[in-house]
Chains A and B, each alone.
Chain A
Amino acid sequence: MAAMFDHLLHNYEEAAAIALLSIGFCMLLFDRNLLKKVIGLDIMNSGVFLLLADRGYIAGGKAPIMAEAASEAVRYVNPIPAGLVLVGIVVSVSMSALMLALTVRVYQTYRTLDVDHLYMLMSHRRKGGRA
C-alpha cells in the first residue's frame, strides 16, 4: 500500500490529470445547466490530454524537432502521444462546437438550459400522442 502511494506521488502528473478528469466527469453528470455540462466536458477532455501527454515524456528529453540526430547526449521525447493529443484536441473542439450549437437551439426553443426541466417537458408532452 505504501509502495503504491509512493508510486502515485511519483506519478503526480497522472494523479493531477485524473483529478481534472473526475472534476469534468462530475460536472458533466451533476450539473443541470447544459452550458456547464459542455464546460465539464472540456475539462474532462483536458484531463485525458494531460494524461496522454505525460505518457510521452522522457526525463531530460527535448521536443521532437530533429535539428540534430538523436544520440546519447540528445534525447527526444516520444512523439506518438503528442500526435494523439493533437487528434484528441481537434475531436474535442468539434464536439464542443456541436454541443454549443445544440445548447443555443435548445435555449431558443425552450428558454431554459436546465436539463431536468427539459426531460420533464419531454416525458410529459409524450402523452399527447401526436407523432
Chain B
Amino acid sequence: MSVVQNFPMFSIVLGLLCAIACFAAPRAWGRRITLALLLLSGVMQGCVLWYCYVNQASYRYQLGHYPAPWGSELTAGLLEPGMGLLFSVVMLLSVIGGGRHVGHDVADGKQHLYWVAVDLTLAALLAMCYTDDIFTAYVFIEICTIAACALLAVREGGRNLIASVRYMVFALIGSSLFLIGVVFTYAVTGQLLFPQLRQAVAALWEAGTYRFAMTVAIALMTAGLAVKSGCFPFHGWLPDAHSQATTASSCILSGVIVKGYAVLLIKIICRGLGAQVFMATGAQNVLLLLGLGGMVWCSIDAIFAKRLKVMIAFSSAAQIGYIFMGIGMGTAAGLTAAVLQMVSHAITKPMLFLAGSQLSDASHGRMDFPSLRGAGHRNVPAGILFTVGALSMVGVPLLAGFVPKLYFAREAFALGWQRWPVLLGLAASTVLNVLYFLYTAVLIWLPQEADCRFKPVKPHWDEYLPGFIFAGLNVAMGIHPGPLAALIDRAVALLGR
C-alpha cells in the first residue's frame, strides 16, 4: 500500500490532534498550529487527489484490522480529496484574511478555543467527505455542528446569541431527522457501511419488502441534511448565523460547512443508497423544486436586506438552492454542475465576506448601504475584490459564477418536464442577482458626498492577499473551466462504482 493512501486517515486524525494541541498548548500557539494544520492538510489532499488521478481509480482504506462490513472504512476517489483540498484551501485563506478580525472580535481568553473549533471543523468536514460508514457520518455531522456553533458564538455581542440559538434549534432538528433515517435504514437492511448498504437496499427494492420504510428513511435523511445545509424553506437560520459571526467564521460557515453536508448527501445518494433507488422514491423532484424555490425566494429576501453582510448571507442561501437543484436533476451531468457550483461558490463567497468587512471597516464598521456609499474609493483593493465577487455571483462570463450556470442551463435541455422550471428559475435568479449585487457594486463606487465623515484607509497589501488569490482562482476557473469540469465528471463517475 502506498504511503499516500494513508493520507486521508492522517489528515482527519491530525485535525483532531491539533484541536487537542490548541486546547492544551500556550494560547499564542493556536493560530500557528491551525495554519500549519490547514496547509499540511491541503498538501495531503493534493497528494491523494494526484494519486487517484494518476491511477484513475478510487480505493477503500480499512481502518483497523477488520474488513468491510465489520470494521470501518474510508473511501477516496476523486470527489473526496478534491472537496477536501477545496475545504482546506478555502479555510486557510479565510483564516488568514479574517485573522485581524478574529483578534478584534474574540476575547483574548477565548482565542485558543476559536482555533480548536476551526481544527475540529476541518477534521469533521474531511471525515464527512471520506467516510464510508453512515453512522460515523452522523457522529462527525454532530462534531461539525458543535464546532460551527462555537465559531458563531465566539464573537461578543447580543444578537450573536440569538443567531446561535436559532442555528442550534434548526441543526438539532436536522440531525435528529437524519438519525431517525439512519435507524430506519439500519432496521430494514442491517448494514451501516455504504457498499454493503447499497447492495442490501438494491436487493430490498428488487424484492419489494419494506419499501415504505426505506422510502421514509431516504426522505428523512435527505430532509435532515437539507435542513443542516440551509436548503429552502429551512433556511431561516442561515442569514442570521452567517451575517452575525466574525469575518473568518462567516467565510468558513458559508464557504465550507454547508457544502460539507451537501457532499455527504451526494455520497449517501450515490454510494450508500444507489442512485436508481433514490430516483425511484421521487425525492429528487422535491429537491429540485426546493432548490428552485430557494434560488428565487432567497434572492428576493436579499434585495430587501438592509445590511451588506445580511445581503451576502441571503445570497448564500440562494446559491445553496442551485446546489440542491443540481442534485435534484437526477443525472450525472446535473451532479457535475452541482459540484461545480459548490466550487465556484466556495471560492467566491469568502472573497465577498472578506471584502465586505474591509469595506465596512472603511466606514467605521457600519454595514448599512447609505454608509457604504463610495466605500470603494476609501479602500480601493477591497472595492475591486468586492466588484469581482459581485460580478462572479451575477454570472458574468469569464468569472467562476458563470460556469455552473452554463452547465445547469445546458443540462436543463436534456431533462423532461423539469426543463422549463429550471430554465425559468435560472433566469429569474440571475435577474434578481443582477438587481442586488450590481446595485451594491455600483453603490460602493459612487462619488462620495462632500461632507463624508469617513476617512480613506491606507491599504496594507498583505491583508488583501487571500482576497486576490480567491479572485485569481475565480478568473482561472471562469476562463478555462474545461479541465475542472472534466475532473468533476470523472469524480462523479467514480463515485457510483
Contacts and interface: CB of A to CB of B under 8 A. Distances in A.
B139 A48 contact: no
B162 A55 contact: no
B135 A98 contact: no
Nearest to B149: A98
A95 B172 contact: yes
A32 B381 CA distance: 46
A102 B146 CA distance: 12
B179 A95 contact: no
Interface string A14-49: 000000010001001100001001000100110010
A122 B159 contact: yes
Interface stretch (A59-67, A69-77, A105-113): A105-113
B306 A127 contact: yes
Contacts of B173: 25, 28-29
A26 to B, nearest CB: 12
B368 A129 contact: yes
Interface string B164-177: 11101100110010
Interface stretch (B180-188, B316-324, B383-391): B180-188
A110 B186 CA distance: 43
Contact of A110 (B153, B158, B366): B158
B394 interface: no
B233 interface: no
Nearest to A103: B165
A109 to B, nearest CB: 5
Contacts of B309: 131
Contact of A87 (B139, B149, B162, B307): B139
Interface residues of B, number: 36
Contact of B165 (A84, A118, A129): A118
B153 A102 contact: yes
A116 to B, nearest CB: 11
Interface in B303-336: 306-307, 309-310
Given A55-B186, A131-B360, A21 B180 contact: yes
A51 interface: yes
Contacts of A10: none
Contact of A91 (B142, B164, B168, B366): B142
Contacts of A28: 169, 172-173
B179 A129 contact: no
B9 interface: no
A109 B158 contact: yes
Interface in B113-158: 135, 139, 142, 146, 149, 153, 158
A99 B169 CA distance: 9
A10 to B, nearest CB: 15
Contact of A51 (B164, B183, B365): B183
B139 A52 contact: no
A98 B146 contact: yes
B158 A99 contact: no
Interface in B36-54: none
A79 to B, nearest CB: 12
A115 B165 contact: yes
B371 interface: yes
Contacts of A129: 306-307, 366-368, 371
B307 A126 contact: yes
A121 interface: yes
Task: Identify which of A29, A115, A130 gathers the most chain B CB atoms within 10 Å of its CB.
Answer: A130
Most central of A51, A102, A115 by chain B CB within 10 Å: A102
B411 interface: no
Contacts of B158: 109-110
B129 to A, nearest CB: 20
Contacts of A126: 159, 306-307, 310
Interface string A75-90: 0000011001001100
A48 B176 contact: yes
B179 A102 contact: no
Given A28-B173, A48-B180, A98-B146, A131 B367 contact: yes
A37 B176 contact: no
Interface of B: 135, 139, 142, 146, 149, 153, 158-159, 161-166, 168-169, 172-173, 176, 179-180, 183, 186-187, 192, 240, 306-307, 309-310, 360, 365-368, 371
23 contacts: A37-B169, A51-B180, A52-B183, A55-B186, A80-B186, A80-B192, A84-B186, A88-B179, A91-B139, A95-B142, A95-B172, A98-B146, A98-B149, A105-B161, A106-B161, A109-B161, A115-B169, A125-B159, A126-B307, A130-B367, A131-B307, A131-B360, A131-B367
Given A84-B186, A87-B135, A95-B172, 16 more contacts: A25-B176, A48-B176, A55-B187, A80-B186, A80-B192, A84-B135, A87-B139, A98-B168, A99-B172, A102-B164, A109-B161, A115-B169, A125-B159, A126-B310, A131-B307, A131-B309
Interface of A: 21, 25, 28-29, 34, 37, 41, 44-45, 48, 51-52, 55, 80-81, 84, 87-88, 91, 94-95, 98-99, 102-103, 105-106, 109-110, 115, 118-119, 121-122, 125-127, 129-131
